[in-house]
């Protein structure tokens, strides 16, 4: 992606843009953000969230059976034949904004976070986040194309999720993650200025979201570096 703030303002007026409010939002109105703890990703620390993957092509994304409305169960072997969508998930820091685009599901541009006022882009150590989502239809895998390190903001499954439930998992770029269905997450936060990750997920692309500003009047402050 080759974006600028001016080009984002143009794209924000289309239906291919998500969260345009981050472009000019008054982030001071919510007071002090909730600081998300920093955790180094490992098989142990990711327990309940997902698994580490070293081979993207071999990683199998879990697809959940189609939900039934009554008491009669699905016939064996049915309801899980939906395809898996694969593609690149591209990221770019545009001055104080983190922008992402999921080409696996042909989604538009997403502003997933921004720096606090007064923080220079070259000195970013934290990013403000207000949204997360989970996929009730299946899991999602992420893998760095060029060993780019990243932060994955995750919380365990529950519809009663709160800001203090989230953790910031650091991945050094030598492996990816295969998230379980219903695990809260955001698009990744790259440490570098630009990054491309491979992703795959269930084709239905069902999303359930939380907005911590709307629900709790708080931003999440996500560390990009240890001791930030």
Q: Is residue 119 part of a domain?
A: yes
Return mean pLDDT, the chain. 89
Q: Is residue 73 part of a domain?
A: no
Distance between CA atoms of residues 89 and 123, nearest Å:
24
Sequence-separated (6 or more) residues with CB below 8 Å from residue 144? 150, 171, 173, 176, 195, 197
Count of domains forming the chain: 1
- pLDDT at residue number 23: 62
Q: Is residue 165 part of a domain?
A: yes
- pLDDT at residue number 117: 85
Q: Is residue 118 part of a domain?
A: yes
- pLDDT at residue number 19: 63
CA 170 to chain centre: 13
Q: Is residue 180 part of a domain?
A: yes
- pLDDT at residue number 228: 76
The CA–CA distances, whole Å, from 155 to 43, 181, 194 equal 16, 12, 25
H helical segments located in the chain:
5-11, 212-216
Q: Is residue 206 part of a domain?
A: yes
| pTM, full prediction | 0.90
Range(s) of the domain holding residue 51: 5-63+84-223
CATH, residue 97:
2.60.120.480
Q: Using one digit for the tens of pLDDT, what is the confidence trace for 51-87?
A: 999 999 999 999 998 888 889 888 888 887 778 999 9
- pLDDT at residue number 93: 92
Which position has the token pair 């993957």?
A: 53
The SS3 of residue 64 is coil
């Amino acid at each position: 992606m080759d974006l600028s703030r001016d080009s984002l303002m143009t794209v924000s007026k289309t239906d291919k843009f998500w969260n345009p409010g981050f472009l000019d939002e008054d982030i001071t109105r919510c007071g002090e953000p909730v600081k998300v703890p920093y955790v180094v990703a490992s098989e142990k620390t990711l327990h309940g969230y997902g698994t580490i993957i070293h081979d993207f092509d071999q990683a199998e994304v879990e697809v959940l059976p189609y939900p039934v409305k009554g008491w009669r169960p699905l016939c064996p072997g049915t309801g899980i034949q939906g395809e898996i969508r694969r593609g690149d998930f591209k990221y770019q820091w545009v001055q104080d904004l983190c922008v992402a685009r999921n080409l696996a599901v042909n989604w538009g541009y997403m502003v997933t976070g921004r720096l606090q006022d007064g923080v220079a882009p070259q000195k970013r150590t934290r990013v403000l986040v207000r949204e997360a989502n989970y996929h009730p239809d299946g899991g999602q895998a992420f893998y760095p194309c060029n060993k780019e390190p990243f932060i994955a903001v995750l919380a365990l499954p529950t519809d009663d999720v709160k800001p203090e439930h989230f953790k910031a998992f650091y991945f050094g770029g030598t492996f990816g993650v295969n998230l379980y269905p219903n695990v809260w997450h955001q698009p990744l936060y790259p440490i570098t200025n630009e990054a491309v990750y491979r992703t795959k997920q269930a084709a239905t692309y069902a999303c359930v979201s939380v907005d911590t500003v709307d629900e709790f009047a708080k931003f999440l402050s996500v560390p990009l570096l240890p001791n930030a």
